[in-house]
């Protein structure tokens, strides 16, 4: 089931009204990532204000999720002696069948969910359609009528009464607006009986009549599993003389179709009518018309063929949806702030958590193309994250900052003090306005890294944006950076000291100089454009960043906080990294060598979660972890430079490959998120090289996919991450877009010609049948009609398929490719991350795994 955006607060208000001191605690399952962490912070603040007891459980992967279901969720079920309750999943389980994984919707049980209601808030796509359009519990008839009231096609209405359990997905708008075809296909498959996929067998008359009667029979009761034809055949097998082997067709969709209440009775299929009665005259003698014959119903064989054809069509819709590739939609933190806004609970703390969560999505390359390099300004999906929807969300956040942080009198438009604020004059704010200043401000942030806590030179040197475009990894790139600073009039002595201690005149003129000289080096987006009228209340400030002060203690940007929190999760707040005698040491954090399944590693990551959780509300903890973030990005620059200079990035058939297996920083990149940052740094550098050398992005305008593998020596595995190239519709060069348009037009003309030829052939066959004057309707005529219907629908299917391909163009399909390689090879692969473009491969199996992967389509 899914909760539409217009009813976002419905479930929470019900929880608020019904919760009391004896109610079970709300269980919150949180993924180990900054966006989910910020969303958890917002949600727990709401629960605390309403005195609702809750417990947070960090989840490192699917193994942890299954264990949480076994140890925490399943004991809550009424059938297990519990009292039900609410489970909230933040960033976990949106891509899998949650009921089965948690063990609360096991097949064969009379009742499911046991009063446990699971809320799913996730930014990853594609959704598991069983969660979205299914998820209703199997209860008694009387209870089921009460539960299903207000549920239409999986959509919860205002009449729905929570409390009986089930899985409820929070819709950010894309389910309601973009998934109508998937909803219809899924519900049709749920209502449809299973049937043998054996069209050549001819059943007896008795079997045909029974099949036809079953086909036109009533739909099962809600929550009851429909019995298939093959099931009935197995029941009668002892009395049936036909001992032919029977094979049940399995669904070819990416997720199983769960037993779910039907939305409506079985949709009837069009039946063929018999010929109309005829009257004729011979000479002057009239002939009485033949008695009208009742229309003959289609045979069971014809019905079976139609049913199979309809099943395949619906399954192909679901398969096309799952095969589009990974993408991201609205961040979890933004959804939680929308909930707080509907409840009237907005404040600066919740707004800041939202801004940090949204900013962290961009730091990890998460967009409508999945995990991919952001090489252009806009998104191929106008409604996708970083597209129109992303721009709209960021503009709403800027409006919220203005609303909750009104300008002081000194910043108003009275007198000569109207532009006294440093940010309004283009200066990056580094201090608070006063000891009690806890406000959030808009700031013209350049694309530098940790500029308030580093020198200007180091901040520019470690910026992924500048590194890619100036080729920082080479000596020539370093000279370009020095020339840029020289043209700006900034000496190396000045720019290598702490930015906060730089000359004030240099800081005041920095923005103006960057705008003047950045275009000479192709750095058009280095600094956000100037505001339309220079006043905080007038312009949109598109591209401006967010800064918050904590009195005199600190002033941090949202990007700074996102970088630091990510570093805590990936490296650890207390990890002091050294490199002595070629050995990696973590000051007592060494892992045991016997951790083959990653249990100890997962426990360590959970410990880092609590450090990051505390740091979000404690600015002193953030300041303490700043050196960790700086160390991580120094390692990214060192490792990336080494891979490029030593030409260790290989060009395979479908992607580029970079393997990190030696060097001082190899231990850092055993965490998937840290390795992802390195892969994005390398991918952006390669994309810029291709654009300079070839004038366009590689792989047909889709960018250059990159696979990065990091060796975990202790466990004997490689962590493998696949990132997209950042291309897509509207991304690539104009030549590639023109070629695709011409191909589409040529296909449309070919389809039209094919359609005309088929229509001509069908007309000739009709004329031949008229001459034959055959009044009987047999299976041959049924087959002919079926073939005509198939021909007429083939063009529509091709158009739908082309539209789906267009929709998923440029998306990250590494998750699909990894699954295909696992099915086809004997490589020992572990897929446990919620990010499906991340896997673990045994050290000995890496070469075979990559060889098979190179033959797959990794970008849509």
pLDDT tens, position by position, 589-637: 444 445 666 778 888 888 899 999 999 999 999 999 999 999 999 999 9
Say whether pLDDT at 254 is over 70.
no
What b/e sequence results for 239-250 when a residue is b if at least 16 CB atoms lie within 10 Å of its CB, and e otherwise? eeeeeeeeeebe
Residue predicted with more confidence, 247 or 158: 158
Say whether pLDDT at 72 is over 90.
yes
Percentage of the residues of the chain whose pLDDT score is greater than 90? 44
**pLDDT on residue 501:** 86
**pLDDT on residue 284:** 40
Alpha carbons 855 and 860: distance in angstroms, whole number: 14
Which two structure tokens, joined as six digits, stand for 260? 């779910």
- 599-615 vs 558-570: helix axis angle to the nearest 10? 150
pLDDT tens, position by position, 130-182: 999 998 887 666 666 666 778 888 999 999 988 888 999 999 988 998 899 99
Residue predicted with more confidence, 310 or 228: 310
CA distances from 134 to 106, 112, 523, 717 (A): 14, 12, 49, 37
Averaged pLDDT of the chain: 78
Which among 107, 114, 100, 115 has a CA at the least distance from the CA of 69?
100
Secondary structure of 242-280 in the HEC alphabet? CCCCCCECCCCCCCCCCCCCCCCCCCCCCCCCCCCCCCC
Which two structure tokens, joined as six digits, stand for 84? 């039900």
The answer to whether 468 and 421 have CB atoms below 8 angstroms apart is no
Decide the pairing of beta strands 370-371 and 366-367: antiparallel
**pLDDT on residue 200:** 46
Which among 502, 480, 477, 475 has a CA at the least distance from the CA of 491?
502
User: Sheet holding 656-660: strands in order across?
Assistant: 650-651, 656-660, 706-712, 717-723, 838-842, 829-830
Q: Can you tell me which residue has the tokens 């199979």?
A: 308
Average pLDDT over residues 763-787: 61
Average pLDDT over residues 254-267: 35
Q: Is the previous residue joined to 77 through a cis bond, with omega within 30 degrees of 0?
A: no
Say whether pLDDT at 808 is over 60.
yes
Least confident of 90-99, 385-394, 669-678: 385-394
For the chain, domains (ranges, CATH) are 2-172 (3.40.50)
Residue predicted with more confidence, 453 or 299: 453
Q: How sure is the predictor about 793, in pLDDT bands with cuts at 50, 70 and 90?
A: low
Largest CA distance in the chain: 118
Say whether pLDDT at 277 is over 60.
no
The answer to whether 312 and 250 have CB atoms below 8 angstroms apart is no
Say whether pLDDT at 832 is over 80.
yes
The answer to whether 26 and 55 have CB atoms below 8 angstroms apart is yes
What b/e sequence results for 377-403 when a residue is b if at least 16 CB atoms lie within 10 Å of its CB, and e otherwise? ebbbbebbbbbebbeebbeebbebbee
Average pLDDT over residues 289-301: 69
Residue predicted with more confidence, 744 or 845: 845
Average pLDDT over residues 474-495: 90
Which two structure tokens, joined as six digits, stand for 616? 């979000």
Residue predicted with more confidence, 16 or 796: 16
Say whether pLDDT at 270 is over 50.
no
Alpha carbons 56 and 27: distance in angstroms, whole number: 6
Average pLDDT over residues 795-824: 73
Q: How sure is the predictor about 291, in pLDDT bands with cuts at 50, 70 and 90?
A: low
Average pLDDT over residues 765-779: 63
Say whether pLDDT at 694 is over 90.
no
Say whether pLDDT at 99 is over 50.
yes
- 300-322 vs 779-807: helix axis angle to the nearest 10? 10
SS3 623: helix
Least confident of 97-101, 171-175, 530-534, 545-549: 530-534
User: Sheet holding 2-3: strands in order across?
Assistant: 54-59, 26-31, 85-90, 116-121, 166-170, 2-3, 155-156, 151-152
Say whether pLDDT at 283 is over 60.
no
Q: How sure is the predictor about 108, in pLDDT bands with cuts at 50, 70 and 90?
A: low
Which two structure tokens, joined as six digits, stand for 150? 């207000």
pTM, 2 dp:
0.80
CA distances from 376 to 82, 120, 684 (A): 52, 31, 11
User: In terms of C-beta density within 10 A (0-12 exposed, 13-18 middle, 19 or more buried), how is residue 21 classed?
Assistant: exposed
């Amino acid at each position: 089931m899914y909760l539409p955006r217009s009813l976002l607060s419905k479930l929470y208000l019900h929880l608020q009204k019904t919760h009391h001191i004896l109610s079970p605690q709300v269980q919150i399952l949180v993924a180990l990532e900054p966006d989910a962490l910020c969303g958890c912070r917002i949600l727990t603040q709401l629960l605390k204000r309403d005195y609702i007891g809750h417990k947070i459980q960090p989840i490192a992967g699917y193994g942890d999720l299954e264990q949480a279901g076994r140890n925490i969720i399943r004991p809550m079920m009424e059938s297990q002696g519990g009292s039900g309750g609410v489970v909230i999943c933040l960033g976990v389980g949106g891509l899998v069948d949650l009921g089965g994984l948690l063990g609360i919707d096991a097949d064969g049980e009379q009742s499911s969910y046991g009063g446990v209601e699971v809320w799913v808030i996730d930014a990853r796509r594609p959704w598991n359609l069983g969660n979205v359009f299914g998820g209703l519990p199997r209860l008694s008839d009387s209870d089921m009528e009460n539960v299903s009231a207000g549920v239409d096609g999986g959509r919860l209405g205002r009449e729905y009464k929570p409390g009986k359990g089930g899985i409820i997905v929070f819709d950010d708008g894309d389910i309601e607006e973009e998934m109508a075809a998937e909803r219809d296909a899924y519900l049709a498959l749920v209502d449809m009986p299973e049937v043998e996929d054996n069209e050549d067998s001819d059943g007896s008359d008795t079997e045909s009549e029974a099949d036809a009667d079953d086909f036109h029979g009533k739909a099962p009761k809600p929550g009851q599993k429909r019995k298939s034809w093959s099931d009935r055949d197995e029941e009668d097998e002892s009395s049936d003389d036909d001992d032919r082997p029977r094979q049940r067709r399995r669904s070819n969709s990416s997720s199983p179709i769960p037993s779910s209440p039907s939305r409506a009775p079985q949709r009837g299929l069009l039946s063929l009518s018999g010929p109309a009665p005829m009257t004729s005259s011979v000479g002057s003698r009239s002939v009485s018309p033949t008695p009208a014959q009742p229309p003959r119903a289609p045979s069971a064989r014809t019905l079976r063929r139609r049913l199979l054809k309809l099943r395949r069509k619906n399954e192909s819709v679901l398969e096309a949806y799952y095969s589009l590739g990974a993408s991201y939609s609205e961040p979890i933190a933004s959804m939680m702030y929308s909930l707080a806004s509907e409840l009237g609970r907005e404040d600066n703390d919740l707004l800041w958590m939202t801004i940090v969560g949204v900013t962290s999505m961009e730091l990890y390359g998460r967009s409508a193309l999945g995990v991919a390099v952001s090489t252009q300004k806009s998104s191929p999906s106008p409604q996708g994250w970083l597209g129109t929807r992303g721009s709209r969300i960021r503009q709403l956040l800027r409006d919220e900052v203005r609303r909750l942080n009104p300008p002081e009198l000194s910043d108003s438009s009275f007198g000569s003090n109207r532009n006294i604020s440093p940010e309004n004059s283009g200066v990056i704010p580094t201090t608070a306005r006063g000891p009690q200043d806890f406000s959030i401000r808009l700031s013209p942030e350049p694309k530098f890294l940790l500029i308030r806590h580093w020198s200007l030179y180091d901040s520019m040197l470690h910026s992924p944006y500048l590194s890619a475009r100036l080729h920082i990894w080479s000596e020539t790139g370093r000279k370009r950076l020095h020339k840029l600073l020289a043209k700006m009039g900034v000496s190396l002595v000045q720019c290598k000291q702490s930015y906060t201690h730089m000359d004030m005149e240099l800081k005041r003129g920095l923005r103006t100089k960057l705008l003047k000289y950045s275009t000479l080096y192709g750095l058009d987006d280095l600094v956000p454009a100037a505001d339309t009228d220079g006043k905080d209340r007038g312009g949109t400030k598109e591209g401006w960043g967010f800064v918050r002060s904590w009195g005199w203690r600190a002033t941090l940007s949202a990007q700074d906080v996102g970088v630091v929190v990510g570093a805590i999760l990936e490296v650890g707040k207390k990890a002091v990294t050294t490199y002595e005698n070629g050995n990696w040491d973590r000051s007592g954090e060494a892992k045991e060598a016997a951790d083959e399944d990653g249990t100890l590693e997962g426990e360590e990551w959970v410990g880092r979660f609590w450090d990051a959780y505390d740091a979000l509300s404690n600015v002193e903890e953030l300041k303490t972890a700043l050196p960790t973030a700086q160390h991580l990005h120094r390692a990214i620059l060192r490792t990336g430079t080494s891979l490029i200079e030593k030409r260790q990035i290989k060009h395979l058939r479908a992607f580029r490959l970079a393997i990190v297996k030696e060097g001082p920083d190899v231990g850092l990149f055993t965490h998937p998120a840290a390795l992802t940052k390195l892969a994005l740094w390398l991918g952006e550098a390669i994309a810029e090289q291709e654009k300079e050398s070839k004038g366009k992005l590689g792989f047909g305008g889709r960018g250059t996919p990159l696979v990065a593998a990091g060796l975990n020596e202790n466990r004997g595995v490689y962590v493998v991450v696949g990132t997209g190239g950042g291309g897509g519709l509207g991304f690539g060069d104009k030549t590639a877009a023109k070629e695709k348009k011409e191909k589409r037009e040529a296909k449309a003309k070919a389809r039209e010609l094919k359609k005309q030829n088929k229509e001509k052939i069908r007309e000739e066959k009709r004329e031949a049948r008229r001459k034959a004057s055959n009044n009987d309707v047999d299976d041959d005529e049924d087959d002919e009609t079926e073939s005509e219907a198939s021909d007429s629908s083939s063009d529509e299917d091709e158009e739908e398929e082309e539209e789906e391909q267009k929709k998923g163009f440029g998306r990250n399909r590494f998750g699909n490719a990894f699954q295909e390689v696992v099915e086809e090879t004997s490589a020992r692969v572990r897929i446990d991350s919620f990010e499906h473009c991340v896997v673990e491969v045994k050290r000995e199996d890496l070469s075979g795994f990559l060889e098979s992967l190179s033959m797959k389509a990794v970008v849509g």
